[in-house]
Chains A and B, each alone.
Chain A
Amino acid sequence: MGKTLAEKILAIKSKRSDIKADDFVMAEVDLVLGNDITAPVAIKEFRRLAKNVFDKDKIVLVCDHFTPNKDIQAAEQVKFIREFAREYNLTHFYDVGDMGIEHCLIPEKGLALPGDLIIGADSHTCTYGALGAFSTGVGSTDMAAAMALGKAWFRVPHTIRFNFSGDSLKPFVTGKDLILYTIGQIGVDGARYKAMEFGGAIIDNLSIESRLTMANMAIEAGAKAGLFAADKKTVAYLQRAGKSAEEIYPDKNASYYKVYDFDASSIEPQVAFPHLPENARSVSEAKGIKIDQVVLGSCTNGRIEDLRQAAEILKGKKVHQDVRMIVIPGTQRIYLQAIEEGLMQVFIEAGAAVSTPTCGPCLGGHMGILASHEVALSTTNRNFVGRMGHPQSAVYLTGPYVAAASAIKGEITHPKEVL
């Protein structure tokens, strides 16, 4: 029987060609990831278990959530990780100055490759499915055990296939809109314990950045992983990171738990209403909702393509006087590229604040916390109660085009209305 991408990778990594959905396998991992919130707990557990890490080149620690340190406690957490990284001489420890938001940084550095099996103590670790890796979020204890063993337990997931057909996308529709639309169709637990696999003519033509955005939010449908075939585009993207990679596709006769066929050419720019990502609607249904803050950035939409899209809308215009716009490039390299392309000038002249890379406001950490009854429109991934600050604040999710257009108008707006 043919295999889905998830089954294919787990079969290779567990050295068991006969695996099927629901089997439990012990598999070797190619990368183990943690951040400044999850790694401290993992390190404490690791010390109860082992004296050595399985491979100092395969553990990645990124200080991105509360950095640059937002308070003394956050500083202590980063110090604790830094000391661990030094003690074990870890190759991939990223601190302020060369860090980026982990899920922007790792693809950029070519640390996630097609066919890889990756676990990370961060729920958005599913991002690397965009590059054809089986990549999934776990907790700190799983991270600890994997740092010691180089292995982890997996239950082979069933796969739900999503085919996006159509000639082309409507103007201002991006990967963010496709994934918000998808979550809106299946709900926040629509892919619980399952792998999502994305394909179809629209996906073939989609940029790697947009694929990363889509895979990133697979967890918002409850999925274990969000996978894309690694095609010529993937191989070319990784070449730019100095890595040679091979294409990988699901078998044509793979067996799927369920198949969704979406006509992507009819999908409008999306906005997810509070307080769940599944509350996705067309931007026209959100028209006129007043906003206090716009955040452009995060592991979902902090890449160069996202900044370009927002700058295209903002060029020569001003952010509304009642709106605070915060722009956060995902990595130092993206930041520099945005400067070279003149995007940062556009943002600053428009009246936006630009920050060094950080997860910051996305999780209500720092760099843009909401007061009670404030409303944010954000290109991030979650709009749960209190996600960006006060429990009585509200977050709407969208893509960079709508975020930028709405920042100008002071209310949620279709981008065509500001051009």
Chain B
Amino acid sequence: MRGKSFTGRVFVFGDDIDTDAIIPARYLNSSDLDYLKLHCMEDADSEFSSKVRPGDIIVAGKNFGCGSSREHAPLAIKAAGVSCVIAESFARIFYRNAINIGLPILEVSLKDQVKDGDLLSVDLQKGLVSFNDREFQAQAFPKELMDIIEAGGLIAFVKKQMEAGEQDA
């Protein structure tokens, strides 16, 4: 799996962070990643894009990414250099999109345990988050989704399947 283990600074957000807050629709007239990343999380924290550094981690409450299906939301987060989004729960379409584009996500309740700037260690393979000598175990992904995650996203996964299909034929 890509990313494996890493340590990153935390940005904490609340419950029900919607995709309009992650990337407002006024910027959806483009899907250019260098443009989208400049406006990442803008309506939740207008200074996020100037503060975020590669490897940083977003920690949020329940229902992260609710609202629109815009894949621009996980794309903007990934383009901003965020290494992982950790939330108590994810809205369904965001969850699917993040896996499809290869943005690491973990489902574990951490929002009230950490504050902005804390350093978290993440082991994606084990779904384990460490902070101040405490460990938090994220929900395991079902095998069907793990296959897509390990392929690096849906397009790579489907390509691999198509190639395997051709070899079988």
Contacts and interface: CB of A to CB of B under 8 A. Distances in A.
A219 B62 CA distance: 16
Contact of A385 (B21, B91, B93): B21
Given A145-B155, A149-B158, A73 B16 contact: no
A71 B89 contact: no
A365 B144 contact: no
Contacts of A385: 18, 20-21, 43-44
B92 A188 contact: no
Interface stretch (A133-141, A160-168, A399-407, A408-416): A133-141
A344 interface: no
Given A41-B72, A66-B29, A188 B66 contact: yes
Given A189-B91, A192-B89, A137 B158 contact: no
B158 A145 contact: yes
Interface stretch (B5-13, B94-102, B116-124, B127-135): B94-102
Contacts of B101: 139, 141
A86 interface: no
B92 A49 contact: no
A232 interface: no
B100 A141 contact: yes
A38 to B, nearest CB: 7
Interface in A144-164: 144-145, 148-149, 153, 155
B25 interface: yes
Nearest to A50: B162
Contacts of B75: 41
A385 B40 CA distance: 15
A402 B66 CA distance: 27
Contacts of B91: 189, 192, 222
Interface in B21-57: 21, 24-26, 28-31, 42-44, 46
A41 B71 contact: yes
A111 B155 CA distance: 27
Contacts of A188: 16, 63, 66
Nearest to A389: B26
A267 interface: no
Nearest to B26: A364
B67 interface: yes
B68 A386 contact: no
Interface residues of B, number: 42
Interface string A120-133: 11110100000000
Contact of B63 (A24, A41, A192, A365): A192
B29 A70 contact: yes
A41 B31 contact: yes
Nearest to B99: A141
B31 A121 contact: no
B96 A138 contact: yes
Given A73-B30, A382-B20, A142 B154 contact: yes
Nearest to A137: B69
Contacts of A144: 155
Interface in A178-227: 188-189, 192-193, 219, 222, 224
B63 A189 contact: yes
A77 interface: yes
Contact of B142 (A24, A44, A125, A276): A24
B93 A139 contact: yes
B115 interface: no
A142 B96 contact: yes
Given A37-B70, A70-B29, A382-B20, A145 B89 contact: no
B155 A365 contact: no
Interface in B51-92: 62-63, 66-72, 74-75, 89, 91-92
B70 A38 contact: yes
B97 A153 contact: no
B104 interface: no
B92 A192 contact: yes
A44 B70 CA distance: 15
10 contacts: A37-B70, A139-B93, A139-B101, A141-B101, A155-B144, A188-B63, A276-B16, A363-B25, A387-B20, A391-B43
Given A38-B71, A138-B93, A139-B97, 20 more contacts: A40-B31, A77-B29, A121-B69, A122-B68, A137-B69, A138-B69, A139-B74, A139-B93, A139-B100, A140-B71, A148-B158, A155-B142, A188-B16, A222-B63, A363-B68, A364-B25, A385-B44, A391-B24, A391-B42, A391-B46
Question: Which 7 pairs across A and B sit closest by C-beta, in order of nearness?
Answer: A139-B97, A73-B29, A139-B71, A141-B100, A189-B63, A363-B25, A123-B69
